[in-house]
Amino acid sequence: MTLPGPKDNDVQLAALDAAGWAEGLSFREEDGDYVTVMLLAAGLARIRDDRRRMDAGEYLTRTSAEQGLLPVPWRSGMTRLWWRFLTAGKTPPQNDLKLFELCRRPFSEWPIRLRLSVADIEQSLLDGDELTPMAEQATRLSVRDVEAELVENRVFRELMLVAELNAKDEAEVQAHYCELRRLLIDNPILTEVKVRRLTGRLPKCGRNGQPIVQRFIQAAYLHRASQGQVKIDVCDICGNPTQQGIDGCGTTGCSGRGVALVIDTVGGYYVQHRATRRFFHDPGLVEARILDRLAEMSAERTISVEAWPGLDAYDIRVSFLSGRDVIEVWGADAKDQVSPGLLGLGFTWRPDPPCDRRFLVLPKHRADQPGYFADLRAELQGRVSGVSVVSEDTFIAGVVARAEEVAQQ
C-alpha cells in the first residue's frame, strides 16, 4: 500500500471531498488536526447509520472496491492520523479496532499531541458505542452527515413549508417560522391537544389531504400510543424527559430536576426525536432565555426585538428606540456547542438583515468553562471580523445599558 505524503494538498482536498464540508468553510494549515477529527467523526456517523440500517433489516452493498468495507471519511481520517503518528515517531493504530478504542479516549490521552484547543483536548469521539457531543458537532460540519440530513434538514424543510403555505405575505411567513421554532424549544413533549390547536391555526393541506403541519410534527417527533392518563418524568426547567430516580436533568447546562408531568391522552402523545432535541431544542434554550429576558424591555418600548430575523439569518435582532426612531441595531447569534475550536472553524455571519453591532453569545455554562472564551476568540481571528464574543448575561447587560443611554439622549 502506498500512502500519500503528509503535505500533499491534493490528497487533503480529496479527503475533504470524501466527507463533504459545510459551504463557505475554509481551512488553514494549522487546522489539520481538526480536519482529521472531522473526517473520523463523519466516518463514525456513517458507520453508526449503516449499523442502524442493518439492524432494521436493510441489506447493504458496496458498489465498487474503492468504497471499501468502511466509509471513505473514516479511511481518509485514518490515513491522515497515520502520518501524524509517523512524523511524531509513534506507532500508529494497527487496525480499525485499535482506532475505535483510541476514539473512546480523550485526545489528551492519545500517544500524539493533536493541535486542538485547550477545551477540546479533553474531549473524545466515542462514549462507548455512541457519538459524543463533540463528534456530533464535528459531523455537522460535514454536509453528508446522515442524521443531520435525514432529520435536521427534513424538520427544517417541513417547518418552512408549513410557514410558507399558510401565509399571505412575507411577514406571516416570518411569524409562522418563529412560532414553530419556539414550539420545538418549548415542547420536548407535545400533547394531542396542542397538535390539534396548531393544525387549526395552520390548516393548509398537501395533495394527500393531510395538513402539512402534521408532516412537520411527524418529522420532529416520535408518536407514542397510549390511552387515558400518562405520567412522564420531565425536567422542571427545560422540559426534557428524565430518567426516574435520577436527581439531575442531564441536559448540559441545565440545573433542573425531575418532576412528574401528567397528561390526558386518547391515542397517544409526541416525544421529540433524539436529533430534534440535539439540533433544535437544546441549542435553542439559550435563544429562548435571551428572547424572554428581552421581551420585558420590549414591552417598555425602549427596544424592539425580532426573533430569528430573515428566517434565521441569525437568532436575535435588537433595535434601540427613541420614540419611533431606530437609533442603533444589534444582532446576536447564540451558540451552545461543546467544542470552541469547531465552533470557531464553522462560524459564519449572514449580512442580511443588516445590524450595526454583531455578537456571538454563549450560554453561561460555556462561558464559565475554563479556556472556552480564549480558544473561541483565537479560532475566530482571521475568519470572521467584527463579531464580539460575550456571555448571555453580558449581552443582556449590554442591551440594558445601551437602551438607558439612548433614552437619555
> What's the DSSP call for residue 257?
B
Return the pLDDT at 102. Answer: 93
Assess contact for 113 and 107: CB atoms under 8 A.
Answer: no
Q: Distance of CA 383 to CAs 180, 217, 352, 376, 377, Å?
A: 32, 37, 18, 11, 10
Write the DSSP assignment of 37-89 as a string of letters: HHHHHHHHHHHHHHHHHHHTTPPP--SSGGG-SS-HHHHHHHHHHHHHHHHTT
Nearest to 2 by CA among 82, 112, 114, 84: 82
Write out pLDDT tens, residues 261-310. 999 888 899 999 888 888 899 999 999 999 999 998 887 788 999 999 99
Assess contact for 137 and 342: CB atoms under 8 A.
Answer: yes
Torsion of CA 326, 330, 334, 335, to 10 degrees: 160
Write out pLDDT tens, residues 26-40. 555 555 788 888 889
Q: How many CA atoms lie within 13 A of 333 on its CB side?
A: 20
- Reduced to 3 states, what is the DSSP secondary structure of residue 105? coil
Cell numbers given for 323: 420614540
pLDDT of the chain along its 409 residues, tens only? Answer: 334 444 444 444 454 454 455 554 555 555 578 888 888 988 888 888 777 666 666 555 544 333 446 777 888 888 888 888 888 888 889 888 999 999 999 999 999 999 888 889 999 999 988 889 898 888 877 644 445 555 677 888 899 999 999 999 999 999 999 999 999 999 999 999 999 999 999 999 988 888 999 999 999 999 999 888 999 999 989 999 987 666 778 788 888 888 889 998 888 999 998 888 888 999 999 999 999 999 988 877 889 999 999 999 999 999 999 888 899 999 999 999 999 988 998 899 998 999 999 999 999 999 998 889 999 998 898 888 899 999 999 999 999 999 999 988 7
Q: Within 221-317, where are the H helices?
A: 274-276, 282-299, 309-312
Return the pLDDT at 310. Answer: 93
Distance between CA atoms of residues 289 and 157, nearest Å: 25
Assess contact for 268 and 225: CB atoms under 8 A.
Answer: yes
DSSP element (H, E) containing 386: none
Peptide bond between residue 6 and the one before it cis (omega within 30 degrees of 0): no
Q: Nearest-5° angle of CA 230, CA 282, CA 256? A: 60
Distance between CA atoms of residues 108 and 39, nearest Å: 19
Tell me whether residue 300 is exposed, middle or buried, using C-beta atoms within 10 angstroms of its C-beta: 0 to 12, 13 to 18, 19 or more.
Answer: exposed
Q: Distance of CA 298 to CAs 104, 301, 314, Å?
A: 47, 5, 19
20 phi-psi bin (left φ>0, alpha ψ -120 to 50, beta other): left
- Strands 357-362 and 130-131, sheet pairing: unpaired
Rg (CA), the chain: 23
Distance between CA atoms of residues 252 and 249, nearest Å: 8
Nearest to 342 by CA among 149, 114, 9, 12: 114
Assess contact for 198 and 189: CB atoms under 8 A.
Answer: no
